[in-house]
């Protein structure tokens, strides 16, 4: 036999011996492919290097992963997992809980049944779906997509960036909205709500109260059940309907249409420009009218 053939035979034998040394099932049914892995448990399958595993039926692929629990599936490096039935892919993920699915990098998840994708997200709770980066979520059954959002509560749906939400069942889409309350809806940017069941579509609107509806820009509402359409309107009271520009209304059940009208009182109907009305049940139409008292017709 030629020397070259002998070299090939010896090389083949050496490769087989190396593979047998790297792949081995121990007495507990654990299978290892790689170097410097440490496993305590039964029926684990480990591929890679420097992995530490405690538990049963885990499937680990990668480097420097730490796993405690049963039936986890880990792919990546430097992941730290404690719990059961988690599926983790990526790098530097820290997961504590059960049935979580996490993909990405440098995310921290505490709880059960969460689905997390992205980077640098922090999630505490159960049943959350988070996709994006730098999101902090505390609560249950939230659906969050975007960047740098803070959510505290349950059953919220948030999409956008830098939104801050505290409460339950809110639906927020946009940028830099701030919400405190329950069942609010926002579509827009830089809006602020403190209350329940409010609906905003627009930019830089501020609401304090319940069941208000606003469509526009820079409107300020304090009270309940008000409807506002327009720009730079200010309303304090309940059940007012205001449409227009720069109207100021204080009271209840007023109907204001136009621009720069100032109304103080209840159940007034004002339409026009620059009218000033103080009293109740007045009917004012036109421009520049000044009315004081009740039940006036101007």
Query: Is residue 176 one of the residues assigned to a domain?
Result: yes
Domain count, the chain: 3
Residue-wise pLDDT tens digits, 150-186: 999 999 999 999 999 999 999 999 999 999 999 999 9
pTM: 0.88
Same domain, 180 and 259: no
Same domain, 168 and 251: no
Query: Is residue 121 one of the residues assigned to a domain?
Result: no
Are 139 and 152 in contact by the 8 Å Cβ rule? The answer is yes
Report which secondary-structure segment, H or E, holds 14. Answer: helix 3-22
Q: Is the pLDDT confidence value at 18 over 50?
A: no
Residue-wise pLDDT tens digits, 81-136: 999 999 999 999 999 999 999 999 999 999 999 999 999 999 999 999 999 999 99
Beta partners for residue 187, in sequence order: 173, 201
- Full domain range(s) for residue 259: 226-298
Residue at which a domain ends, from 35, 63, 92: 92
Distances (CA, A) of 96 to 11, 111, 112, 219: 46, 6, 8, 44
Residue at which a domain ends, from 178, 202, 225: 225
Backbone conformation region of residue 283, classed left if phi is above 0, alpha if psi is from -120 to 50, else beta: beta
Same domain, 67 and 22: yes
Same domain, 173 and 197: yes
Confidence category of residue 140, pLDDT binned at 50, 70, 90? very high
Question: How distant is the alpha carbon of residue 203 from its chain centre?
Answer: 20
Residue-wise pLDDT tens digits, 211-236: 999 999 999 999 999 999 999 999 99
Distance CA 275, CA 265 (A): 14
Same domain, 1 and 82: yes
Same domain, 284 and 243: yes
Distances (CA, A) of 233 to 98, 143, 190: 50, 33, 16
Query: Is residue 291 one of the residues assigned to a domain?
Result: yes
Distance CA 100, CA 84 (A): 9
Tokens of 266: 């209840």
């Amino acid at each position: 036999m030629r020397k070259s053939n002998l070299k090939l035979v010896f090389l083949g034998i050496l490769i087989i011996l190396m593979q047998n040394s790297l792949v081995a099932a121990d007495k507990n049914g654990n299978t290892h492919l790689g170097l410097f892995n440490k496993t305590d448990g039964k029926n684990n399958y480990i591929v890679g290097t420097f992995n530490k595993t405690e538990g049963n039926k885990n499937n680990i692929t990668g480097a420097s992963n730490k796993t405690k629990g049963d039936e986890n599936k880990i792919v990546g490096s430097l992941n730290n997992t404690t719990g059961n039935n988690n599926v983790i892919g990526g790098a530097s993920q820290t997961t504590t809980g059960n049935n979580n699915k996490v993909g990405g990098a440098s995310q921290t998840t505490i709880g059960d049944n969460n689905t997390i994708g992205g980077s640098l997200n922090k999630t505490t709770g159960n049943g959350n779906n988070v996709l994006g980066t730098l999101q902090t979520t505390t609560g249950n059954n939230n659906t969050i997509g975007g960047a740098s959002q803070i959510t505290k509560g349950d059953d919220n749906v948030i999409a956008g960036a830098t939104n801050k939400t505290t409460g339950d069942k809110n639906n927020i889409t946009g940028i830099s909205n701030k919400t405190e309350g329950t069942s609010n809806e926002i579509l827009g940017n830089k809006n602020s709500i403190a209350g329940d069941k409010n609906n905003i579509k627009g930019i830089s609107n501020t609401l304090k109260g319940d069941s208000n509806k606003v469509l526009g820009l820079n409107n300020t509402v304090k009270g309940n059940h008000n409807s506002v359409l327009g720009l730079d309107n200010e309303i304090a009271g309940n059940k007012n309907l205001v449409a227009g520009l720069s109207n100021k209304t204080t009271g209840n059940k007023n109907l204001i249409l136009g621009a720069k009208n100032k109304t103080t009182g209840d159940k007034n109907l004002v339409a026009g420009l620059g009218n000033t009305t103080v009293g109740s049940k007045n009917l004012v139409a036109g421009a520049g009218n000044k009315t004081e008292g009740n039940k006036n017709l101007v």
